[in-house]
């Protein structure tokens, strides 16, 4: 396969701009209303022109879609809705020809209840070898009618479901930290470890450059399955961030490096303890991990600066690059979130009917993108972020599919609103998402004509044009991507820093225009200057005179 132009370094992942593709919602080639791999292949020129270095695909494997594909039934095939394994291999190769690497998603904490392993476990007797790959346990109480412990699912409700015989007779319970259709694997079992090591090799053999690891801190469990204590020491939680994980990922790192040293392992790790987080980024463990602290932070200068400083300090201690993320397939889109009174993100506070000023949110989202792209490390873009798409909040009840919505009995809006299919062209749904007029799998709003890629390509002031220019500067400027930065003195509410000798980024989070440092050129700005001053909720990239830096 071709070596990607512009990404030849073995440590490409330290500075890359990585674009997240949610296959169901990116582009549809066959006209059935659901995205597919052929649709992605047809849009590779768009991604090249956008200026990304890699594509991260959320799971494209066969799945009943109980959790948007994160319930995987077979890691060595492609879901027929998306295409075939041969098409995936051609897509990986074609993307490389465009200078774009491919990152796949692996979900090692659990599999689908349709997976052959779990079906065999259900058919087997309690205590059988087939059940040892999972967490089957007898229930508590006289008739075993109570769950083995009080663990709760990440999606709400109990983390246990009871298995039943074909005749309906209840028997053992099985653990699922997510939906009941996602049984947890027992990572103390050698079959489980061997299977995932083989899966890594399977996809590395097909040319993928990286693996994103879903829920990477949840795999290992205390075999005694104790209750979660109110207070616990580092590594002592019964199923979060256990020390056994380090050896698992060290074995994965050895496999990645056996392919030449340019394959990357990227962890989805939510941990408040920065020292524990950094352990996953030691030179022989993972290459990078998502920066959720920054992604969920409010649009507030002090909070963002604190997150930046903590992130860079933590990563410097282990020699790993930082990652900067504004959104993904799980969180409220930035245009909507930044227009709210509370601009932070937390699943616990996500509710229907939260007021949003979309004009303010769009302005802040533009500024936030430039701020994040200028920071040292890699930058992740969730599809549609570059179009400034808002969260779709009026999806009809009967069209919603996210288990978070169902398990909360409609209290939590779920994640469907950020997963609505992209608008490509035209003035009404499906906006060129696919040929013909088939309804998309989630409904698109009627007012997205101005947000299509076609419409924004012709508008130099659009969000898409901003992203294209910024990513071009980011890719070609020698001081951007991974490397050092230094804060500039600035007034409260302003974040200003340099990258190298001549580049500066200034973000104005105050409510009024501010003066910019002396400069020779404005590389790009998220909003037009006002009398030479940077307006409120705006970010600018500057070229500094030689004596300034």
**Residues that are catalytic:** 214, 268
Provide the strand spans (E) within 277-415.
288-289, 323-325, 378-382
| Residue carrying the six token digits 């030479």 | 532
CA distance 371 to 327: 14
Other Cβ atoms less than 10 A from the Cβ of 9: the count is 11
For 89, the token pair is 């291999």
CA distance 200 to 542: 42
Residues 203 and 104 sit within 8 Å (Cβ to Cβ): yes
For residue 430, say if its preceding peptide bond is cis, omega within 30 degrees of 0.
yes
CA distance 399 to 393: 12
Dihedral (CA of 60, 66, 70, 76) sign: negative
Contacts of 266 (CB under 8 A, 6+ apart): 13, 56, 103, 210, 211, 212, 213, 286, 287, 288, 289, 290, 323
Hey, which residues does 267 pair with through a beta bridge? 213, 289
Closest CA to 356 of 300, 394, 411, 326: 394
Contacts of 15 (CB under 8 A, 6+ apart): 53, 321, 377, 378, 480, 481, 482
CA distance 189 to 200: 18
Three-state helix/strand/coil letters over 9-29: CCCHHHCCEEEEECHHHCCCC
Closest CA to 413 of 507, 347, 481, 368: 347
Contacts of 41 (CB under 8 A, 6+ apart): 29, 87, 90, 91, 94
Residues 410 and 397 sit within 8 Å (Cβ to Cβ): yes
Environment class of 504 (CB within 10 Å of its CB; exposed 0-12, middle 13-18, buried 19+): buried
CA distance 535 to 532: 9
Environment class of 404 (CB within 10 Å of its CB; exposed 0-12, middle 13-18, buried 19+): buried
Residues 253 and 265 sit within 8 Å (Cβ to Cβ): yes
Write 435-442 long-range contacts (CB < 8 A, 24+). 435/28, 435/29, 435/30, 435/31, 436/31, 438/28, 438/31, 438/32, 438/33, 439/33, 440/25, 440/28, 440/33, 440/34, 441/24, 441/25, 441/33, 441/34, 442/25, 442/392, 442/395, 442/399, 442/401, 442/416
Residues 86 and 68 sit within 8 Å (Cβ to Cβ): no
């Amino acid at each position: 396969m071709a070596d990607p132009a512009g990404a030849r370094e073995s440590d490409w992942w330290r500075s890359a701009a990585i674009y997240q593709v949610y296959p169901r919602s990116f582009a549809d080639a066959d006209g059935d209303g659901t995205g597919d791999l052929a649709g992605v292949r047809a849009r590779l020129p768009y991604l090249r022109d956008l200026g990304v270095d890699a594509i991260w695909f959320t799971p494209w494997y066969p799945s009943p879609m109980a959790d948007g594909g994160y319930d995987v039934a077979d890691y060595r095939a492609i879901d027929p809705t998306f295409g075939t394994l041969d098409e995936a291999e051609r897509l990986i190769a074609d993307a490389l020809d465009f200078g774009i690497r491919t990152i796949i998603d692996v979900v090692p904490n659990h599999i689908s209840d349709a997976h052959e392993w779990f079906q065999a476990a259900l058919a087997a007797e309690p205590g059988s070898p087939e059940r040892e790959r999972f967490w089957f346990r007898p229930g508590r109480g006289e008739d075993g009618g109570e769950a083995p412990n009080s663990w709760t699912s990440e999606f709400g409700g109990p983390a246990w479901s009871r298995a039943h015989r074909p005749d309906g007779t209840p028997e053992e319970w099985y653990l699922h930290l997510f939906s009941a259709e996602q049984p947890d694997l027992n990572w103390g079992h050698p079959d489980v470890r061997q299977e995932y090591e083989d899966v890594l090799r399977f996809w590395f053999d097909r040319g993928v450059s990286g693996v994103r690891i879903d829920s990477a801190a949840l795999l290992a469990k205390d075999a005694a399955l104790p209750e979660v204590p109110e207070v616990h020491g580092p590594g002592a939680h019964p199923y979060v961030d256990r020390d056994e994980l380090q050896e698992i990922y060290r074995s994965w790192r050895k496999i990645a490096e056996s392919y030449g040293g340019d394959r990357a392992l990227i962890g989805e790790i939510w941990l408040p303890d920065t020292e524990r987080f950094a352990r996953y980024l030691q030179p022989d463990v993972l290459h990078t991990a998502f920066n959720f602290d920054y992604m969920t932070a409010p649009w507030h200068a002090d909070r963002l600066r604190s997150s930046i400083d903590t992130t860079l300090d933590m990563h410097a201690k282990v020699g790993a690059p930082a990652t900067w993320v504004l959104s993904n397939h799980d969180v409220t889109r930035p245009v909507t979130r930044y227009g709210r009174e509370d601009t932070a993100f937390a699943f616990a506070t996500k509710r229907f009917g939260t007021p949003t000023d979309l004009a303010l949110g769009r302005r802040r989202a533009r500024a936030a993108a430039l701020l994040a792209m200028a920071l040292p490390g890699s930058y992740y873009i969730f599809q549609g972020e570059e179009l400034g798409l808002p969260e779709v909040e009026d999806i009809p009840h009967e069209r919603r599919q996210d288990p978070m919505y169902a398990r909360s009995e409609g209290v939590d809006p779920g994640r469907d609103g950020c997963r609505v299919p992209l608008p490509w062209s035209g003035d009404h749904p499906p906006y060129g998402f696919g040929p013909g007029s088939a309804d998309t799998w989630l409904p698109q709003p009627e007012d997205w004509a101005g947000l299509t890629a076609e419409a924004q390509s012709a508008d130099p002031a659009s969000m898409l044009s901003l992203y294209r220019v910024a990513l071009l500067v980011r890719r070609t400027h020698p001081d951007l991507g991974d490397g050092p930065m230094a804060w500039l003195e600035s007034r409260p509410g302003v974040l200003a820093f340099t990258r190298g000798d001549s580049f500066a980024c200034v973000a104005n989070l105050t409510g009024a225009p501010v003066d910019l440092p002396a400069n020779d050129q404005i590389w790009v700005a998220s909003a037009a200057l006002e009398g030479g001053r940077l307006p409120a909720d705006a970010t600018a990239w500057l070229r500094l005179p030689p004596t300034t830096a």
